Amino acid sequence: MGTKVSGKKIRMVRIQPSPESQMGVTKSVGLFPPLGLLTIDALTPKDTWDVEIIDEFRNRFDSKKINMSNTALVGISFWTNQAPRAYEVAGVFRRNGIPVILGGPHPTVMPEEAIKYGDSVCVGEAESVWANILEDLSRNSLKLIYEGGSPPLETVPVIEHLLRDIYPFGIIQTARGCPYDCSFCSVTLINGGAMRYRPIKDVVEEFKSIKQRIIMVADDNFIGSGRRGRQRAIELCKALYELRKKGINKYWGTQCTQNLGMDDELLEWMYKSGCRGVLFGLESINRKVIKDMHKGINTLGDYAENINNTQRHGIMVIGSFIFGNDGDEEDVFKDTIDFINEVGISTQNLNLSCPLPGTRLFEEMKSANRLRYINFPEDWEKYNMRYVALKPKNLSALELYEKRMWADKKMVRSNLVLLKRFIRTLWITKSPVAALFALLWSYTSRTSEAEYRYTINLLKQELGTLGYLSAKAA
């Protein structure tokens, strides 16, 4: 297998694949630059390499437009529901003798599967091994597996790329890792259980270079953990506030644990620095379900008080919930919607329980023969929190989907409802930007009627074929 390395610049193609079926893919996908691809691009020496980035959420990969004769390496980074498409694209290049390296969340948790479809797999984060990968390629000696691990974030480059500027919204990451290790979540497995933080000067430099006015801070938990995480978040917000004082007025949103609402000082600095939205992974209003998920951080304080205090500080809250848990009671859908309305949560995510590979939930469902889709890798496309990927305990798969559909429609289907919630968020937060954030989130998270009909028909066909249509354990 040749690598087509010569004395001239070497050509590399980096690809973010988009699932073949767009069912379950929200409108917000494609609005943000592909952070992983841009990070690897920034690590790649430009005096040696010519890098082409293909984001399939904007432009579909077309092999006819790629010059296979002068391409030395292809890198594909992907999540679980992107895996079938990633393997398909990888096959196109490998049939032309071009080496393919696979990386990202799914190959990290499923390296034995991924290596069947690539020449090499990067497990974990690439910053610490990317130079070694390029060196090995130059010697035609790519290893099967590279263990990137969880390197210190001083190794993360400051991104500057013209491609980043063409997207509607900006994106940046300031921290990685999560110590909470919830049963349904793969973040701890992928990025480690210890919080790691980028140097504040690097974050500020990159933040300043982003052209867009609205930026997503793609941290799994912006406030980190413990006193160090809190103090670091305050220091970063102070640095971003200094940018605003210099006329660099950007607004941003991020993800945090809901105990943020207990910290007035941190909330004040987040607002001053331009934060106007946070996503709280509330998951469930049932404390027993939270305990089953091993998400102890959600037992700190009171949901309603923390949400109200956050929004009083001018920061709208996206409440993220999961339906289909074993501990869910019969009225969980109505009770959750009532809670959202009573508390005045600005907007929401209503997800279906999804056993992602590598998580304890996946292993539990697999052991209990409760995975509904097991024709891998093709079926990974359905592991996106919109399909019913597991066999629910307390109702049928069809009932779970239809009840989640009912809840979703109650909150986002009507334009009048969205207008009322916009006005309410504006009243609570006193921030037009926060209210617009919430409205945009609600609009882009809408599920189309075509998708509802398709999924319901699919479930009926599956359950009918299996003889489960009236059964509760489907």
Instruction: List per-residue pLDDT tens for the chain, 474 residues long.
Output: 344 444 578 999 999 999 876 665 555 678 999 999 999 999 999 999 999 999 999 989 988 888 888 899 999 999 999 999 999 999 999 999 999 999 999 999 999 999 999 999 999 999 999 999 999 999 999 999 999 999 999 999 999 888 999 999 999 999 999 999 899 999 999 999 999 999 999 999 999 999 999 999 999 999 998 999 999 999 999 999 999 999 999 999 999 999 999 999 999 999 999 999 999 999 999 999 999 999 999 998 999 999 999 999 999 999 999 999 999 988 999 999 999 999 999 999 999 999 999 999 999 999 999 999 999 999 999 999 999 999 999 899 999 999 999 999 999 988 999 999 999 999 999 999 999 999 999 998 888 899 999 999 999 998 775 544 444 444
CA atoms within 13 A on the CB side of 243: 23
d(CA 74, CA 90): 8
pLDDT at residue 23, as a whole number: 60
Residue 38 identity (one-letter amino acid): L
What are the residue boundaries of the structural domains of the chain, listed by start?
A: 10-149, 169-450
Q: Residue 338: which H helix or E strand, with range?
A: helix 332-343
The two structure tokens encoding residue 443: 């609009």
Handedness of CA 207, 209, 213, 216 (dihedral sign): negative
Pick the CATH number of 169-450 from 3.40.50.10800, 3.80.30.20, 3.40.50.300, 3.40.50.720: 3.80.30.20
d(CA 154, CA 162): 23
- Alpha-helical (H) ranges within 158-245 are 187-191, 200-209, 226-245
Q: Are 114 and 78 within 8 A, CB to CB?
A: no
pLDDT at residue 470, as a whole number: 41
Radius of gyration of the chain (CA): 22
The two structure tokens encoding residue 57: 């959420």
The two structure tokens encoding residue 2: 């040749």
Domain topology for 10-149: Rossmann fold (3.40.50)
The two structure tokens encoding residue 6: 């010569």
Q: Are 120 and 144 within 8 A, CB to CB?
A: yes
